[in-house]
């Protein structure tokens, strides 16, 4: 079975500050990991994904995430927050044999960016 | 460009009405999914389909059914809508059975049941 936890349902940062959104997973097989962003009243958009290549993954809009197997983590970071980064962020894991249901999402973290 | 289109962005229905939510993709993806999104609960899988006329229950199928008569179209049906089905519904597609593939999402359909 797979699961994802995201520490902090709501994170606030000042514009220009570091963004750190935490994601921990559990998986009985080598995981593939994803971060999605959702703007209000829109669908989810892929930010980046880890699929067993480089452990540091760069995505769109200046975001990156590092896969740490020993910590079962895949935290999302951005060096300098912008007002347009305000959105909800979801971490997801994929990797079980039952491919149809193997995409498991975390509960999400809402990011607020303060001027 | 990848495109997943959900037919209705906003719907208001009455309790007991039959509701159809349609999703069309132009990517020739085998897998299609319907999720429900509620505050604090994240995304929960209702049904998915891995081929035409094939469907599998997800985590919360009760009160829903689906139809996939053509590869590009996946419909979610609420036979008799209830107020607890007020939610955001998201359709997604995924190529093949590869675990490395990401999901592509539509814009979502926000349903209110009065």
pLDDT for the residue numbered A101: 58
Residue of B nearest to A43 (CA): B107
pLDDT in tens, A39-94: 988 899 999 999 877 889 999 999 999 999 999 999 999 999 999 999 999 999 98
**Which of A32, A100, A108 lies nearest to residue B50, judging by beta carbons?**
A100
Q: Does B56 touch chain A (CB under 8 A)?
A: yes
Question: What is the token pair recorded at A96?
Answer: 């079980």
Residue-wise pLDDT for B57-110, tens only, equals 998 999 999 999 999 999 999 999 999 999 999 999 987 666 678 899 999 999
- Residue A87 is predicted with a pLDDT of 97
pLDDT for the residue B14: 97
CB B69 within 8 A of CB B55: no
- Interface with chain A: mutation pick from B8, B10, B100, B107, highest number of A CBs within 10 Å: B100
Segment B42-46 shows an average pLDDT of 92
Q: Residue A30's closest chain B neighbor by CA? A: B99
At residue A98, the pLDDT reads: 54
């Amino acid at each position: 079975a797979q699961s994802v936890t995201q520490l902090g349902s709501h994170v606030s940062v000042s514009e220009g500050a570091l963004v750190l959104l935490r994601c921990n997973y559990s998986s009985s097989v080598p995981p593939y990991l994803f971060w999605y962003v959702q703007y209000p009243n829109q669908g989810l958009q892929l930010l980046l994904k880890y699929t067993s290549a480089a452990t540091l993954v760069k995505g769109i809009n200046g975001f990156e995430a590092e896969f740490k197997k020993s910590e079962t983590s895949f935290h999302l970071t951005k060096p300098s927050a912008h007002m347009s980064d305000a959105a909800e962020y979801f971490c997801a894991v994929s990797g079980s044999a039952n491919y149809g249901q193997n995409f498991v999402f975390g509960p999400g973290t809402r990011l607020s960016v303060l001027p | 460009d990848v495109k997943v289109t959900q037919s209705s962005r906003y719907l208001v229905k009455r309790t007991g009405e039959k509701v159809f939510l349609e999703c069309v993709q132009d990517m020739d993806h085998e897998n299609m999914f319907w999720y429900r999104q509620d505050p604090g609960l994240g995304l929960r899988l209702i049904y998915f389909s891995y081929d035409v006329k094939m469907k599998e229950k997800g985590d919360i199928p009760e009160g829903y059914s689906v139809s996939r008569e053509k590869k590009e179209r996946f419909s979610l049906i609420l036979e008799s809508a209830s107020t607890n089905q007020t939610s955001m519904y998201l359709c997604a597609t995924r190529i093949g059975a590869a675990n490395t593939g990401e999901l592509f999402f539509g814009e979502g359909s926000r349903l209110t049941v009065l």
